[in-house]
Copies of this chain bind each other. A is one copy, B any other.
Amino acid sequence: MTCEHRRVNSMQALLLAVAVFGFSALAQPAPRTTQTTASPAVTLASWNDGPSRTALTSFVSRVTTPGNPDFVDAPERIAVFDNDGTLWAEQPLYVQVAFALDRVKALAAEHPEWQTREPFRSVIAGDLKAVMAGGEHALMAIIAASHAGNTTAEFEQIVKDWVATARHPRTGRLYTEMIYQPMLELLTYLRGNGFKTYIVSGGGVEFMRPWVERVYGIPPEQVVGSRIRMKYEVRNGVPVLARLAEIDLIDDRAGKPVGIQQVIGRRPTIAFGNSDGDFEMLEWTTTSPGPRLGVIVHHTDAEREWAYDRESSIGRLVRGLDEAARRGWVVVDMKREWARIF
C-alpha cells in the first residue's frame, strides 16, 4: 500500500476536526493472551534484532530484576499504549470516524427529516466537503446522533455489532484484523513481566471497551479514553446510564496525562505512542523520577502498511521525531524492525 492519506483531500479536514473531539480508534481477533513468565527471544518473535527490541528487553530486564538499582515493584509497573496507529492501523480514516458516519447512515431510515437537514443530508450523500462546511456545529450533531442519546448498554451492543462486520475501505479486512502483531507480542511480554497494560487513547472509551479484552487481552477497567457525559436514571424500574451529547474528557495531547491521573493515579513506567497526540503522555511518563521508557512507533513501511509522519493529518508526528533523541525515547522503525506487521 502506498501512502493513501494524501488522496483523501476534504476528508482530511473532517478527520482532523473530528480527532479534536476525541474520536479515533478499533483491531485482529488475536488469541486471548495468557500470562506467562516471558522469554523475549520467543515472545517477541515478530521483532527483528535491532535497537528497539534491545532497548525494550534491556529496560524490562532492569526494572524486573530484584537487586538491580532500577528495580520497580510489580504493583508500580504500568505500561500505557495509545491505540490508533500504535496498536492498530489508523489510515486512511480513524476507525471511529468510519463508525460515526456508518451510524448516521444506519439511522437515516428512522430520521426522514435528515434527508433535508445538514449535516446529515451530506453524510448520507457521502459529501464530506459539505459536512465540513458545517464546522463544529455539524460535528457535534454527528457525534450526538452517532454516539449519544442511548444507554451505555445499548451503545456497547451497537459497537459490538458494527465491529463484527465493518470492513476497512482499502483492505476489505475486519478492522480487528488490522492489529499490529509485534505490539500484541509486546503486550503479552510486558504482562508476563508483571506489567499492568493500559490503553490511553484519544478514541472514545466506550468505543473500545466492547472489543479490546478479546483482541488485546486488556480488560475494560484498563482502558482510558475520551468520554461524553453520562447521567444515571431509573426508567420503569430499570437503572440505566444515559449517554449525553456533551464532551466530558478529550483524552488526547495534554488530555492524556489528565486521563491517566483520573483513572490510574500513577505515572506510567513505559509509554507507547505514534503521533504528537501522544507527546504529553510520553513527556509525563519519562520525566517522572525513577526508570521510565518512552517509545514511538514510526510508520515507515509504505509497502506493508502506510508510511507517514510530518505531513500527515492523521497521526502527525513532528515534535516527537525532533525531540526523541534528546529525550532518550526509542523510535521503532516499523519497516526495518518488524518482521511482520499484522
Q: When the two chains form their complex, are residues B265 and A241 in contact, meaning their CB atoms are under 8 A apart? A: no
A280 to chain B: closest residue by CB = B232
A234 to chain B: closest residue by CB = B283
In the docked arrangement, what's the CA distance between A18 and B262, Å? 22
In the docked arrangement, what's the CA distance between A248 and B248, Å? 9
Q: When the two chains form their complex, are residues A219 and B75 in contact, meaning their CB atoms are under 8 A apart? A: yes
- B contact residues around A284 at 8 Å (CB): 232, 239
Give min CB distance, A50 to chain B, whole Å: 30
| Contact among B78, B241, B265, B287 with A257 in the assembled complex (CB-CB below 8 Å) | B241
- Given A241-B258, A257-B239, A258-B241, verify A265-B220 contact (CB < 8 Å): yes
| Contact among B227, B231, B238, B254 with A287 in the assembled complex (CB-CB below 8 Å) | B238
In the docked arrangement, what's the CA distance between A254 and B238, Å? 14
| Contact among B196, B248, B261, B283 with A152 in the assembled complex (CB-CB below 8 Å) | B261
A210 to chain B: closest residue by CB = B265
Most chain B Cβ neighbours within 10 Å, of A241, A283, A287? A241
In the docked arrangement, what's the CA distance between A196 and B220, Å? 13
Is A44 close to B, CB under 8 A? Answer: no
| Contact among B230, B257, B258 with A261 in the assembled complex (CB-CB below 8 Å) | B230
Is A339 close to B, CB under 8 A? Answer: no
Is A209 close to B, CB under 8 A? Answer: yes
- B contact residues around A220 at 8 Å (CB): 264-266
Is A205 close to B, CB under 8 A? Answer: yes
Is A223 close to B, CB under 8 A? Answer: yes
Q: Which of A248-280 contact B (CB under 8 A)?
A: 248, 254-255, 257-258, 261-266, 280
Is A221 close to B, CB under 8 A? Answer: yes
In the docked arrangement, what's the CA distance between A266 and B221, Å? 7
- B contact residues around A264 at 8 Å (CB): 220-221
